Structure 1
Amino acid sequence: MAIPLTVIGQEIVRYCGTSTFAVGILGGVLNTLEFFSLRTFRESSCAFYLTIMAFSNIGCLGFSFSPLIMVALINIDVSNTSLFYCKFRRCMSQAFLGISMTCLCLATIDQYFATCAYPRWQRLCNIKLAHRLVIITALIWILHGIPYLMYFNLVLSSTTNTTTCTSTSSTFNYYRNYIFTIGIIGYLPIVIAGLFSLLAYRNIQQLAYRIVPLIRRDLDKQLTTMVLVQVLVCVFTLTPYTTINAVVTSVNLTNDPITQMKLQLVLNITLVMYYLYFASPFYLYLCVSERFRRQFIHVLSKIFINFCKRPTIRVNQVIPEP
């Protein structure tokens, strides 16, 4: 029974994970391209958070998800052979995960303030403040990665005689497994983003009764819809993996080998769902926002026109002297 469950888990990661990774990288690139191309998004603080989140999602898929797919495809984990990559991959993976989750929370909070009736709170939604908050966020998560550089090492197992990239500090392992994975990038962003997205949705329902410029009202509705759908997907994709991961890390529940195999199968399924969150934003925005679709077509047509333009060769009309 254990062998089929193991094979099923590997096949799920191999096929579903590879598809998720491919469409996620493509969607992240297109998302970043659109946000950077349009002035409307470049001047919006919420769109700036979504832009940084899109870039961070690419990093999450590249540093955190792709090594798992490589193991499922060819059974090779470079982090188990290179000390530099062992430390660097773990450090960058947690940084991109943290930045992505933080930007989601900042985007929902920003939309709550942007749709409030109080002008003083609306003034908190400015691009300069967004730039500062993102810089502070990036610095915090880079500093947070220092323990990963310190404690992760290549350890030779005495039982299997294989080298694995793992943490050598039991205290840091406890923090990483319970506080960081389950709390900081698990339930905490789900609660914060869920709460402020509901408050922003309540505010957006009252926009029609306020004297608000039409362009700003349309942009607020568009961004709030995009963020709200993103939060819904966040709840349904991140919660199962976070919960199962909490169960798997509980020693009392995983002593039985058969139970371990069953939990590992469920963990593989929820793992693909987890990274589906990082791969889905662009396609969600296309589905829920007609304005985003028009903007995307505009950006593509503009890029296509610029690409098709041929450089004109100017002919010198001056007749050279004999």
Structure 2
Amino acid sequence: MSSTISLFLNLSQQVVIYMNIPVLIVGVIGGIFNLIVFLSFKTFRQNSCSFYLMIMSWVNIGQLLSGNFTRIMGGGYNIDWTQNSLFYCKIRWYFIQLFILTSYACLCFATIDQYLATSSRYRWQQWSNIKLAYYLCSASFIFAMLHGIPSIIFYNYGYSIVTGQRVCTITNSNYQQYKTYGYFLILTGFLPILITVLFGSLAYRNVQQIAYRTVPLVRRELDKQLTTMVLVQVVYSLIVIMPYTICLSVTTMLNLRNDPVIVAKLQFIEALAGAFYYSYFAAPFYIYICVSKRFRQQLAYVLSPIFISCSRRQPIISNNQVVPEINGNSFQN
């Protein structure tokens, strides 16, 4: 029995090391590039949908650093900071919930916004505005902050039946029930998936008809670009979020804590599903690059001056050399 447990624990460790570390690296880099592009263009800064995507890039980076990085250190290298600090045990889960809920809310808002922006009804189009985006993002962030307060109260130390080590876990049964059914299944499970799939489908239908309506060319191309970016991200989120949500919910609902072998197997499945789950926070930039030609062009436009300045070399002039002048100006390569 102990050899079986050791096998699955080792497999879980390898998954975390070889999957979560690349996700962390490419995710943080991609999030930074997203912010550079969204902040560099006035059309993005003044557009409500791109504002949602920009805020989502911020919180995705926060989630990768607070959730995934700690997961790598604990699951991959057995350096669990939550074991040494009760404060960190509590605050880590607080920030994880804060970033996850805000990220999901921004994706839902972006999908709804694109449905409104591409609607044929002018009254509905007016609901797609940057002022409302500020209010909704602020409200969702405040809600996520308040929602995380119980985690500070009810996360405490317990002991793992697999390793016997002290672990950071929920010690209140009522809050555990809410975390399973209210948080995992609803707030971060079926509710955001339902909203994004529903309004994403409606937005796709609107975009198919937008060519037949009198819409300025710049606005039409921007709506097509953002709708494509959002819809592909919705499909990807459906693929990577649901397995992890189901895995965590099943693990909690079956209450298999008395069988260490099964728990070790479930930990391996959870580690595998978790690696794909964290790719949700790392993938947006690469999704945009793949599906949007305009986004690639915008990225190249923003980065090209940086590469040009880095590649430009100043001429090395010795003391005995004279720099020729052309029309009174020094000539430099």
Q: TM-score under structure 2 normalisation? A: 0.87
1:3 offset after TM fit, Å?
Answer: 2.6
What do the CA deviations read for 1:106-161 (whole angstroms, capped 9, x no partner)? Answer: 00000000010000000001001101111111111111111122222345789977
For 1:165, the aligned partner's letter is C
For 1:105, the aligned partner's letter is C
CA contact (8 A) 2:162 2:263 kept: no
Aligned Cα root-mean-square deviation (Å): 2.2
1:7 offset after TM fit, Å?
Answer: 1.4
1:140 aligned to 2:146?
no
2:38 to 35, 38, 41: 35
Structure 1, unmatched stretches of 5+, are 311-322
1:232 aligned to 2:235?
yes
CA contact (8 A) 2:119 2:125 kept: yes
Structure 2, unmatched stretches of 5+, are 314-333
| Map of 1:222 onto structure 2 | 225
| Map of 1:261 onto structure 2 | 264
Distance change in 2, residues 1:104/1:146 (3 Å): same
1:284 to 279, 284, 287: 287
For 2:204, the aligned partner's letter is Y
| Map of 2:96 onto structure 1 | 93
| Map of 2:133 onto structure 1 | 130
Inter-partner Cα distance in structure 2 for 1:155 and 1:2: 20
What do the CA deviations read for 1:13-45 (whole angstroms, capped 9, x no partner)? Answer: 111111111111111111111111111110100
Distance change in 2, residues 1:4/1:83 (3 Å): closer
| Map of 1:320 onto structure 2 | none
Q: Which moves more between the two structures, 15-24 or 163-172?
A: 163-172
1:248 to 230, 246, 251: 251
2:108 to 99, 105, 109: 105
For 1:23, the aligned partner's letter is V
Distance change in 2, residues 1:159/1:263 (3 Å): closer
CA contact (8 A) 1:241 1:274 kept: yes
| Map of 2:11 onto structure 1 | 8
Q: Which moves more between the two structures, 153-162 or 264-273?
A: 153-162
| Map of 1:313 onto structure 2 | none
What do the CA deviations read for 1:194-232 (whole angstroms, capped 9, x no partner)? Answer: 111011000000001100000000000000000000001
| Map of 1:198 onto structure 2 | 201
For 1:72, the aligned partner's letter is G
| Map of 1:179 onto structure 2 | 182
Q: TM-score under structure 1 normalisation? A: 0.90
What do the CA deviations read for 1:56-102 (whole angstroms, capped 9, x no partner)? Answer: 11111111111111013320111221122222211111000000000
Inter-partner Cα distance in structure 2 for 1:236 and 1:165: 29
Inter-partner Cα distance in structure 1 for 2:97 and 2:107: 15
For 2:107, the aligned partner's letter is L
1:65 to 50, 63, 68: 68
CA contact (8 A) 1:248 1:254 kept: no
